Amino acid sequence: MKEFFKIEPKLLELDIRAREMCKDTFAEIDRISMHNQHKVLSAFINNKVSEADLGISTGYGYGDRGRDNLEKVFAECMGAEDSLIRHNFVSGTHTLAVMLFGVLRPNDTMLCLTGRPYDTLIGVLGIDGHSDGSLKDFGVNYEEVALNDEGRPNLDEIKSRLKNKFYKVAYIQRSRGYSLRPSLTVEEIGVLVKAVKEISPDTLVLVDNCYGEFVDTIEPTSVGADLIAGSLIKNPGGGIAPTGGYIAGRADLIEKCAYRLTCAGVGREVGASLGHNRELYMGLFAAPHTVGEALKTATYAGALFELLGYESTPKYDAKRADIIESVLLGSSEALIAFCQGMQKGAPVDSFVTPEPWDMPGYDDPVIMAAGAFTLGASIELSADAPLREPFAAWLQGGLNFASGQAGVLLGAQSMIDKGIIKL
């Protein structure tokens, strides 16, 4: 390492100790990625993926066998009946919106079980005062159950709401997003699904699965969720898919989502793959391994920063439900120094210096470190941080552990250079 990067000898000693601390967790991560890799490989084999599937279609995209077969392969990987996995979902938010608009109808009510949803969903729901084109604009009502004091779903309140009223959709967000609440494990999602279905069997349980895919050996669809959705520039794209999203779950509901993705009466039969099939297959094939590398990077960051005297959540030895690590750095100066240092270790744009800026939709300035092959891909090592209490850097991704480790170390080194950390 010291041959290539300017890193203090004392920090390199901590690097060795941090990796030692991570040993057991790394072994568990390896066990899960191995299981998931075998699952994905067998789905490719069972569905007879062929070279012809990697070809391109243009125009309407009728009869695109590769596209259709990928949806079968992906459904099997997710333990689901069916799926839509397409490059023309433009983002995770778009995918989640297609899922919600796909199943909700005017006068229906959805209930979010996990407090306020991820920032970009607010506009989709129309609960920020600007309702044009939102679910609210189409007559869909929204309610939420706030998280309890520990940041967990409030099961008693959820049950009492479900007993009092029929909700068409119960919505669960697996990952914490930009909050410090614990992310939900698949097991915890299973408990929520069971509670919903016992009281109200006709309520559909939909899960925002972003950042969660392949972190565990099963997905929420295996514990009763009706639909899950996520982004391909996060976990399931394996760092190779250049754009896109997926929805997986019950076949009748996937059909409804397909009518929303394209249009009623046409559905999933169209959509030219334009040559993206190959990248989507390759990305899915790489995903279990890539997610493991990202999990190792997150674990390592937690361990290293613990040695440096900073709190991180989840702790390095905790069971993880997604690939996100929050490192509580305590001040704007520390956040800026860390992000600028991490940027220096990016394979792309290492020479630029990130600065805080007033990002639309945020009340405080945000600083971001990202030097990715795919714009905005957060399965690649990245950190973003709103400059506000508790001055946490949200760290995620890492296509391989060695480069993730270098990025995290360079972040710490930059804090040393600025006199914020004294070794």
Ligand X SMILES: *Cc1c(COP(=O)(O)O)cnc(C)c1O
DSSP E strand boundaries for 217-332: 227-231, 245-249, 312-313, 325-328
Nearer to ligand X, 109 or 120 (CB): 120
* 226 burial via Cβ count (<10 Å: 0-12, 13-18, 19+): buried
Nearer to ligand X, 66 or 230 (CB): 230
Is 91 a binding residue for ligand X by CB under 6 A? The answer is yes
Is 231 a binding residue for ligand X by CB under 6 A? The answer is yes
Question: Least distance (Å) from ligand X to the CB of residue 62?
Answer: 29
Residue 89: C-alpha distances to residues 115, 245, 271, 311, 323 (Å): 26, 5, 11, 37, 22
* Single-letter code of the amino acid located at 100: L
CA distance 74 to 110: 27
- Angle 277-307/65-77 helices, nearest 10 degrees? 30
Q: Point out which span in 6-14, 172-180, 307-315, 410-418 binds ligand X (CB under 6 A).
A: 172-180
Is 210 a binding residue for ligand X by CB under 6 A? The answer is yes
Residue 365: C-alpha distances to residues 297, 302, 358, 359 (Å): 26, 24, 5, 7
What residue is closest to ligand X based on CB? 92
Q: What tokens does 412 get?
A: 């710490």
Residue matched to tokens 């009706």: 226
Binding mask 29-58 toward ligand X (x if CB under 6 A, else -) reads ------------------------------
User: Which of 102, 115, 153, 177: binder of ligand X (CB under 6 A)?
Assistant: 177
Question: Least distance (Å) from ligand X to the CB of residue 209?
Answer: 9
Measured in Å, how far apart are the chain's first and last C-alpha atoms?
19
- Angle 332-343/401-417 helices, nearest 10 degrees? 130
Question: Least distance (Å) from ligand X to the CB of residue 117?
Answer: 7
Binding mask 107-126 toward ligand X (x if CB under 6 A, else -) reads -----------x-x------
Nearer to ligand X, 240 or 416 (CB): 240
Q: Point out which span in 71-79, 85-93, 157-165, 190-198 binds ligand X (CB under 6 A).
A: 85-93
Nearer to ligand X, 33 or 173 (CB): 173
- Residue numbers at the binding site for ligand X (CB under 6 A): 91-93, 118, 120, 173, 175, 177, 208, 210-211, 231
